[in-house]
Amino acid sequence: MRARLLACLLGVIACGDAEDPAAASLELGTGSWRFEALDDGQDVELIRGAQGGWHVWVSFRVRGVAEDRAPLALSIQPADESRPPDRADVQLLLDRADDEGFRRYIGWTGIVPDPACLVGELVRLEATMERPDGTRLRSERDVRLLGGTYPPGACDGGR
């Protein structure tokens, strides 16, 4: 009996740090200085960058992920898929886990090429993370782009 109890205890200790791939999760959000969860249909403001481009703040959080660097594919496209997605493959350094077990990356500039025709429209933001074991974590949200403080020029209709 004592040997069985010891074996069970050692099994728990040995496996206690193992990740459960089914428990790993990725949540796409926004925010330039803190994580803000996104809901489908939510308004997201376009930001005019210092170099004249346009972006939205993209943040994300993961749980059940031990890797310090997260290889992510981030994409943006009209929600109706009338244009192919604009994609960026990045590798970002995650914050240390908080008390709830979340690791975050805050404030990625999700570039929005030719945003004039997208103001007021739903766009799909998507993040995909491929894990070392081959599993993929994915999160997407369809959000409405607002013109922001300095809106882009008028849409010329040429998507």
The domain ranges of the chain are: 24-146
pTM of the model: 0.80
Please give the single-letter amino acid code of residue 93. Answer: L
Q: Sorting pLDDT into bands at 50, 70 and 90, what band is 8?
A: very low
The mean pLDDT of 96-124, rounded to a whole number, is 93
**CATH: 2.60.40.10, 3.40.50.2000, 2.40.10.10, 2.40.30.10. Which one for 24-146?**
2.60.40.10
The H-or-E segment that residue 44 falls in is strand 43-45
d(CA 151, CA 112): 13
Confidence label for 70 from pLDDT (cuts 50, 70 and 90): confident
Instruction: Using the predicted structure, report yes or no on whether residue 159 has a pLDDT greater than 70.
Output: no
Cα distance between residue 10 and residue 14, in whole Å: 6
Q: Hey, how many other C-beta atoms are within 10 angstroms of the C-beta on 6? A: 10
Calculate the alpha carbon distances from 151 to 69, 116, 159 in Å. Answer: 34, 8, 17
Q: pLDDT tens for residues 84-107?
A: 999 999 999 999 999 999 999 999
